[in-house]
């Protein structure tokens, strides 16, 4: 499965993505760029959906203030067509490689 399909699947499952878990889950070091290019912008090969961004503030383990963004897929009528494209793309990508877990088998169905 491609990183684009993995990100699309995570968004479809309702997961909240950030730079940290984007690297941990997908190996993508710049999740904001990938969401914009691979998911949102249709002219760049994306799906034409709108992803919401929520700014978060906190402190690092050393007490320094930090700021990051969290991304989630909006389940609105505006995104309905793009969500269907995302589902079809993920299904196509998952069918190219045999499923390794029971969860993947269920997702393909």
In the structure, what pLDDT confidence band is assigned to residue 97 with cuts at 50, 70 and 90? Answer: confident
Q: Once rounded to an integer, what is the mean pLDDT over residues 3-24?
A: 91
Buried b (16+ CB within 10 A) or exposed e, 7-19: bbbbbeeeeebbb
Average pLDDT, the chain: 88
The structure tokens 């941990």 sit at 24
The structure tokens 């691979």 sit at 38
Beta bridge partners of 70: 54
């Amino acid at each position: 499965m491609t990183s684009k399909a993995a990100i699309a699947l995570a968004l479809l499952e309702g997961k909240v993505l950030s730079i940290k878990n984007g690297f941990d889950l997908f190996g993508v070091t710049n999740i904001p760029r990938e969401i914009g290019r691979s998911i949102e912008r249709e002219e760049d090969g994306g799906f034409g959906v709108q992803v919401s961004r929520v700014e978060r503030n906190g402190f690092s383990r050393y007490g320094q203030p930090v700021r990051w963004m969290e991304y989630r897929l909006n389940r609105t009528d505006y995104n309905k067509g793009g969500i269907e494209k995302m589902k079809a793309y993920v299904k196509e990508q998952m069918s190219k490689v045999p499923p390794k877990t029971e969860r993947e088998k269920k997702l393909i169905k």
